[in-house]
Amino acid sequence: AAGSANGNWTFTCRRPIGQTDVTAVIEASTDFVTWGTGNLIVGSTPNGDGTETWTATYPAASAPRVFFRLHVTRP
């Protein structure tokens, strides 16, 4: 889910805890061309059911809009 709160753009998603067969990274872009983790603050909270909720924030003052993606790869 994407949105805004407390002066930040936000993105949240759930994922299984301890999943080792894939790598997941939240990335952001202001132009749909350049993607990265700069300006992102990412945290996670266990849900008590074997999953965790990841929350990424991006300062709204840094960009009038931001796009998020969850980049998933297999190592």
How does pLDDT run across 31-53, given as a tens digit for each residue? 999 999 999 999 999 999 999 99
**Confidence tier at 60 by pLDDT (50, 70, 90):** very high
Q: What is the pLDDT of residues 7-26, one digit of tens each?
A: 999 999 999 998 889 999 99
63: its two tokens: 């960009």
pLDDT of 62 above 90: yes
Burial class (CB in 10 A: 0-12, 13-18, 19+), 67: middle
What pTM value is reported for the model?
0.86
